[in-house]
Amino acid sequence: MNVQFSPEERGLSSAEVQQKIEAGKVNRTDISTGKTVKEIVRSNLLTYFNLIFLIITILLCVVGSFRNLTFLPVIIGNTLIGIVQEVRAKKVLDKMNLLNAPHAQVIRDGKESRILSEELVEGDTVVLSAGDQICADAQVLSGSIQVNESLLTGEADEVGKEAGSELLSGSFVVSGTCRAVLTHVGADSYISRLTEEAKVMGDGEQSEMIRSINQIVKWMGIAVIPIGIILFVQSFFFNDEPFRKSIVSMVAAVIGMIPEGLYLLTTAALALSTIRLARRKVLLHDMKSVETLARVDVLCVDKTGTITEPEMKVDLVVPVQIDGKDALSEKELTALLSAYVRASSDNNATMKALSAYVQSLPVSEKGHAKKADAVYPFSSSVKYGGVAFDGKTCLLGAPEFILREDFETVSSQTAPFTEKGSRVLLLAEYEGKDLSGGLTEKARPLGLIILQNPIRENAAETFSYFREQGVGVKVISGDNPETVSKIAQQAGIENAESYIDASFLDSDEEVEKAAGEYTVFGRVTPARKQQLVRALQAQGHTVAMTGDGVNDILAMKDADCSVAMASGSEAAAQAAQVVLLDSDFAHMPSVVLEGRRVVNNVQRSASLFLVKNIFSLLLSVFSAVFMLTYPLEPAQISLISMFTIGIPGFLLALEPNGERIKGNFLRGVLFRSLPAGITDLLAVGALVVCGNVFSIPSSAIATASTMLLSVVGFMILIKISHPFTKTKWAILIFNIAGLIFCGIFLHQLFAMSEMSSICVLLMIVFAFAAESVFRYLTLLVEWIDRIREKRLHKKEEKSLR
């Protein structure tokens, strides 16, 4: 576009831009919330547990027990898979982020063009308009805009910016248009300095799943070293075992207590989830958002762009009737509307629809373009905009907000349209002169502009899914509540007939009460949207907010999970945790299902891993208390881990699982794994004691213990696999066959020795006993959990009263 501007707004020349680039004055930063490939490799390789594995590997090599290094291939494989999956996910996200990268309108050599924000340089002249995120610190040259700096300051009020005003990067334009010169770019900008400080403080809030797994790893990490030392000292100095056997038994206990596969399982599941969602054109700015969205029980949606298509069109322009007569003729009204649209600086969806309508008019109906004396951009906080020309000020916006107490004079004329779900705007003449302090004088209604916003084809199906899943939907819009209610009903949203005009909510108490009672909220300002989200959270809900405009950003910022449509404003897309790149709201169920798959499957598989850790910890304590040498060898622990934990755990983590997430992640894992861990301890402990009574060789007891642990391992595998599918049956049969094969043909590698008849008899007896103990312990734990839930439910009911 070859538009020429005044000298101070011609922008930099190509030569000046090149000089700035060479001087490093470019709007790029090295601050990123994502890891580099080097950081991914380092985080997977240089871990606390890998250090322990290195130490015990050296100890086993020193004593010559090379057979017990069977855990090494698993550890190396875990590390490599973790690195590969994270790098794959990173590459996919990098490509998706490039598609969603922020852009800017820049003036160079007197020509306006659109480039990536990171290609801007210090001194560039940019054009800013509604919906744009300010990507670098700047100073306004000309024009005026309303800016929201809440993402930086926490203040929700819109701030007016005129020529000479400073603009902070990270804020976003709410309305108006201006040209500004960039003063600080890249790492020198305000938002970069804030980001750097935030990065120094830490990685931010973690999801419940990651936090729970970190707790498990932390406590096991603390316990493993002192317990290992105690077992070695006891075996070598008190039980007079050889140095080699003392090292081997200590290593077996330590390996059993290390949850080496948990991190890999979680990392791989999240990475695969990211890749699967990317294929559906869903971009994750924040990994934990998948889990959060899966836990959501209230979904707040905007009307435009979510329930309806983002594009609107003018359906009708009709004069307002006053005392039975038209305020203006149709020709006069059309000409005035045309003049307003040409003079306005707005570029939102409504103005685009009005511009398209004006352009479609015959030349004779458009009238003459008028020079505006003053332009007041539309603001979602006051629901109107204005243009002054020919000594008159015209207003365009929501009839209730423009006419205020006089709205009843036109309510009968707007009602037929709002009842059908149409959007109604009012064009009026303001009797005052200045709008900067709000409306203080009366306004004379002139005409109604009726806009249509078609409902998305798949909206009803999408909302039906959320209804079936027990997720409540709240529609929060700036439009007329009756209009929004009709559209929500047509989209199949439950209780959509229950609506309220949010402009009448005066106190925080009224907002909180309305949040629980109503489904549709109309005439909602950006600050009120934020209040509604907070009110729902205060009532104990996990809230997701979807939107596509700058008026949604405040609510999106406070929601537990925020979802933006890429077709909306760039500021909203950059602020959101999840971005629907093709702006198709129908992807939301698949995002929720993906999150449920990850959380439910990781929780299910984590319980397998934790059985081994709980058993090893309890058996280590048991051995220390009763002065027994730990009965198992590392190779046997590796065999059990491979076929009852590792392989089935990872295969089950890939299975579809759309069940609703219930309860606390850590408590769910512990309640599933505790019965099996205690059963393992009782069975193996009894077997070891009986082995001492009957003088059975320790190698035979170790083999019998391995078989017993495998039986209990398959018990919990069967328990967590319900309901069974063909795939789950195949996983179970494959792992049983694998264990039997290794026990028969690779018995030397996994330290499986021959057993006497008395040892076999004891193993069979304790295997049957273990089944009963596991079953009754499971019933006991489930009963305790039900009692706890009932008490918690009663406590919540009491607090609500």
- Give the residue carrying structure tokens 């579809």: 656
Helix-strand-coil split of the chain, %, nearest 5: 55, 15, 25
Distances (CA, A) of 617 to 6, 425, 580, 751: 77, 70, 46, 22
The amino acid at 377: P
Nearest to 585 by CA among 372, 280, 341: 280
Q: Which residues are catalytic?
A: 302
Rounded distance, CA 4 to CA 10, Å?
A: 7
Look-up: residue for tokens 């007329």?
480
50 is written with which tokens? 């890998």
Do 609 and 677 touch, CB atoms closer than 8 A? no
Q: HSE, CB side, 13 Å, CA atoms: give it for residue 624.
A: 16
Q: Tell me if 580 sits within 8 A of 566, measured CB to CB.
A: yes
Closest CA to 403 of 522, 340, 322: 322
CA distance linking residue 562 with residue 97, whole number of Å: 17
> Do the Cβ atoms of 572 and 444 come closer than 8 Å?
no
CA distance 644 to 710: 7
Rounded to whole angstroms, the Cα distance separating 496 from 484 reads 9
> Per-residue DSSP letters for 638-685?
HHHHIIIIIHHHHHHTTS---PPP-S-HHHHHHHHHHHHHHHHHHHHH
User: Exposed e or buried b for every residue in 626-647, given b needs 16+ CB within 10 A?
Assistant: eebbbbbbbbbbbbbbbbbbbe
Q: State the Cα–Cα distance between residues 776 and 791, nearest whole angstrom.
A: 23
Q: Give yes or no for a contact between 108 and 17, defined as CB atoms under 8 angstroms apart.
A: yes
